[in-house]
Structure 1
């Protein structure tokens, strides 16, 4: 392996911390290349690189050290090798021109406190920026047969145009164009970290063009895709973000309703939207198996009513969650979809 390739494998996190920079949440540091107070430079250990969302500087571990130490790329490569590669021979470079790594800054940047409550809602600005940009470019795509079919399908599920616009559902009309835009605009590690792209570097919503955005405090914090109509045996009905924990759908409604009021809990987002359209405040778990205990604090003020699918799994989940909520002294009850209907949306869209 040549020296350049070897040097590029030196752990950028180790170099950054050895230089005196403090890693904050989401592997961010205060950027050394422009003046700022809030960290905007992100370290990517997956490919040993960095990118600053404030000034646009980016590159590999050698670029980073070259910029911080005010060296040319070749000199920075040799100095990193001198410090971190045990087999490096100093005679390869000009004698007396290799320095030990030390912090080139006069003082460490001010420490930013990390959240102490690990169960608290944490806003991920970069993730939300990417999700919202994805929504924007999909909304701007020309109308085509995919959009028309998807929109008509949603209307056939009993949703009004007003409801669909209120929840800001959108359609991936042109998958290739959307994927190309995201790859041009953001780094692949960022796209993978926020769950939009898989390990192969592809946008995950290839067969799921109906996109359901999850909002919290006015920002998109999660996305869920759905197939148009019924899926085939080899394709799942829903596509969740890759490797990203699911959020509670429509969680902001908990800030709007009064203490003691009934809050309905559904399995799917479309069921939740149906109840909201009927004037019944609701949230969705995304799936009956996806409940997270840190959501429990959102339910403490309300009378909780589980309104799950009309199948064995849905009813078992309602019983299990009833037992769980009782441990937190939260009052619950269960409402069952009438026989002959499979879920909340099916009932409300087909009832006479």
Structure 2
């Protein structure tokens, strides 16, 4: 449970990094290349760390992806904002001692017979923008038993693993742990790839 002071700090950090993004055309262009324009960036409160708050200096230059709940942001992950394979450094960095959280839990409140689960925040954003309610986990190793209870009110749970071996393992894991229906993704592609190539209709076709 976060303290009031911690919640205030997260809100301050998210607001600062949103403001930083508004002045960073390079980060805006990167997000646009992933199909995430200004409206989407605002919806998910995305930012970039140009003016790091105390303790966030190591995340300078990275995208800030907040985990937002109805009570406000409760966590932030930081992603490399360069269009390369991230060799020599981690693509994602988490805060030290950060709790494991489901990403995009606001979609759990949407009226829908189904929910989608992805590995990664950007794929969860992408599905949500396509009209498919979605939550994300950073990886199989971060799964918590109570996540299944968060999903149990939905008639159907779709597992959107990437089109690779890791994605297949995620789908199998979610089928076992959360009665999810695995979605067969084209080889080498993820939700964001399909969205950029075929639009929202391309993603919706996967569950039709």
Same fold (TM over 0.5): yes
User: What is the alpha-carbon root mean square deviation over aligned residues?
Assistant: 2.1
Contact 1:124 1:221 survives alignment (8 Å): no
Contact 1:289 1:317 survives alignment (8 Å): no
Contact 2:20 2:47 survives alignment (8 Å): no
What SS class does the counterpart of residue 322 from structure 1 fall into? helix
Contact 2:17 2:46 survives alignment (8 Å): no
- Answer 1 or 2: which has greater helix percent: 2
The yes-or-no answer on 1:269 pairing with 2:121 is yes
Greater Cα radius of gyration, structure 1 or 2: 1
Counterpart in 2 of 1:128? Answer: 7
Matches within 5 A, 1:51-62: none
Q: CA deviation at 1:286?
A: 1.9
Counterpart in 2 of 1:296? Answer: 148
Counterpart in 2 of 1:169? Answer: 46
What SS class does the counterpart of residue 263 from structure 1 fall into? strand
Contact 2:162 2:168 survives alignment (8 Å): yes
Counterpart in 1 of 2:130? Answer: 278
Counterpart in 2 of 1:347? Answer: 194
Matches within 5 A, 1:50-129: 122-129=1-8
TM-score, length-scaled by structure 1: 0.52
Counterpart in 2 of 1:250? Answer: 104
What SS class does the counterpart of residue 257 from structure 1 fall into? coil
The C-alpha deviation readout for 1:172-196, integer Å capped at 9, x for no partner, is 124xxx34xx3xxxxxxxxxxxxxx
Q: Return closer, same or farther for 1:124/1:306 CA change in 2, 3 Å cut-off.
A: farther
Matches within 5 A, 1:86-235: 122-141=1-20, 147-174=24-51, 178-179=52-53, 182=54, 197=55, 203-206=57-60, 208-228=61-81, 229-235=83-89
Unaligned runs of 5+ in 1: 1-121, 183-196, 326-330
Q: CA deviation at 1:288?
A: 3.3
- Give distance in 2, aligned partners of 1:266 and 1:143: 28
- Answer 1 or 2: which has greater strand percent: 2
- Give distance in 2, aligned partners of 1:134 and 1:332: 35
Counterpart in 1 of 2:186? Answer: 338
Q: Return closer, same or farther for 1:347/1:162 CA change in 2, 3 Å cut-off.
A: same
Unaligned runs of 5+ in 2: 200-208
What SS class does the counterpart of residue 242 from structure 1 fall into? coil
The higher-RCO structure (CA 8 Å, 6+ apart) is 2
Q: Return closer, same or farther for 1:269/1:141 CA change in 2, 3 Å cut-off.
A: closer
Tell me which of 164, 173, 179 is aligned to 1:320: 173
- Give distance in 1, aligned partners of 2:4 and 2:130: 33
